[in-house]
Chain A
Amino acid sequence: MLKNFSRHFVISNDVVLKDVRKDIGRYVADSSRRAFLQRSLTLGGLSLLSGCDIVDENSVDTALSTISRFNDRVQGLLFNPSHLAPTYADSMITRPFPFNAFYGEDQVVVVDEADYQLEVGGMVADKRTWTVAELRAMPQIDQVTRHICVEGWSAIGKWGGVPFANFLQRVGADLSASYIGFKCADDYYTSIDMATALHPQTLLALTYDGQTLPPKYGFPMKLRMPTKLGYKNPKHIKAIFVTNTNPGGYWEDQGYNWFGGS
């Protein structure tokens, strides 16, 4: 019981211990950390609810995960690609725009543009790599939209870049595939559904507020989707691949909903 309580405390008290967790995260191997989080997923709440461990927690976790997968399908059906996220005037931009990642701001990855090559793979016709200059040469758009975090807070920011649908068409992606996966220079990874990838507001963002995307917001390039929660918007993308096998994601594999958006 004491062990359960302390584990519950460590995982749940993320307001106070967020920084500690970020530090721990650097030193603990990814796989063991993920397993630790998965085991702890509903532990505290369930023990509280039942007063003891009479309910098989694995079966509750399995049931909740099954419902989360069901919710993914419902959200896929609810997704109407012609519904646009609201856009705002420049004067409504949140300043400073908050930094957010699974590590602290002092640990931001600084990618060297000279060495950077975006890999494109999976179900695409043209698998050649891209430089930042080549991405900048494509037609760009700007948009001021609301970023909504899974924690509930939101902030308005201005991103500019290449409509992702145009990029996917350029590389000859199989648009009938189900998923797009992303691998990032900060070891983050995530994936999205094809319908969201083709949404007119989904951008390969190269700028923030009219300036080159700074490292803390994902230099050289991030995927910006006003229809998705923050954790679905990968920064420092180094590889994009089109697939029919769900690639999961850093937070999604720990229990955050995979669809994760509107």
Chain B
Amino acid sequence: MSKGNNSLIHPVWLRVTHWLNAIAVLLLVMSGWRIYDAAPFFDFVIPKNLTLGGWLGGAIQWHFAAMWLLVCNGLVYLACNALSGRLLHKFFPLSPRALVADLVSALTGRLSHADPSQYNAVQRLAYLFVIADAVLLVLSGLVLWKSVQFPILRELLGGYEATRRVHFFAMSALVAFVGVHLVMVALVPRTLLAMIRGR
């Protein structure tokens, strides 16, 4: 599935699921911030002009519509990734030694981006992390939505109130990833082109 033209970096299913995921994350984060503002558990609220939905009811409608896009699109992404073998050969092996070496290179500005078809160890870890984080967001969201219907999941996450915090911190990690991701795209702009036209 991912094979074929050697110069193709990202197959079409990857590009489509990437951009649909970007839309879903934008809608979910902005509407989620409005929901958080209705009963903030920290000393701050999110500025209203960064939120989506207008009022709590509108934000909830956006959140519980966009969740279907995130989940359905995510399942297609994971299925294509696993069945095509891309998951295995793009993200593994992932050794701590290579990770440290690539991290040092990255921070000293010596990390090579000569071959965009290969992920370096930092990228591998970052992408695997954000996949796991998205799974955690979905599972904690499921507990907040249906706490009585998913008792095992609810207790694993520490109960309803703890799950609110888990959902919030998982969101924060996702937003932090997006921030770094966008900086990296700005530093290496041809990665953006590759995610649009595939090469």
Contact = CB atoms under 8 A, between A and B. Distances in A.
A37 B38 contact: no
B39 A41 contact: no
A240 B159 CA distance: 33
Given A67-B65, A154-B160, A14 B55 contact: yes
A149 B39 CA distance: 9
B176 interface: no
A200 B167 CA distance: 30
A227 B62 CA distance: 23
Nearest to A256: B57
User: Interface centre among B52, B147, B151, by most A CB within 10 Å?
Assistant: B147
B49 interface: yes
B57 A65 contact: no
A27 interface: no
Contact of B48 (A12, A49, A83): A12
Contacts of A86: 151, 159
A257 B64 contact: yes
B20 interface: no
A152 B53 contact: no
A48 B160 CA distance: 32
B61 A64 contact: yes
Contact of B160 (A13, A79, A148): A148
Interface in A27-64: 37, 40-45, 48-49, 63-64
A262 B39 contact: no
A68 interface: yes
Contacts of B30: 45, 49
Contacts of B70: none
B60 to A, nearest CB: 7
Interface in B30-63: 30-31, 34-39, 41, 45, 48-49, 51-62
A68 B64 contact: yes
A50 B57 CA distance: 20
Interface residues of A, number: 47
A40 B125 CA distance: 43
Interface string B145-177: 111110100000001110010000000000000
B19 interface: no
A131 interface: no
Interface string A64-81: 110110010001001110
A84 interface: yes
A173 to B, nearest CB: 23
A40 B57 CA distance: 10
B68 interface: yes
A44 B55 CA distance: 8
Interface in A133-183: 146, 148-154
B49 A48 contact: yes
Given A67-B64, A68-B64, A42 B53 contact: yes
A148 B146 contact: no
Which 6 A-B residue pairings sit nearest by Cβ, starting from the closest? A255-B57, A44-B54, A45-B52, A262-B148, A151-B38, A151-B39
Given A15-B45, A40-B55, A45-B62, 7 more contacts: A40-B58, A41-B54, A45-B59, A68-B65, A79-B149, A85-B148, A148-B147
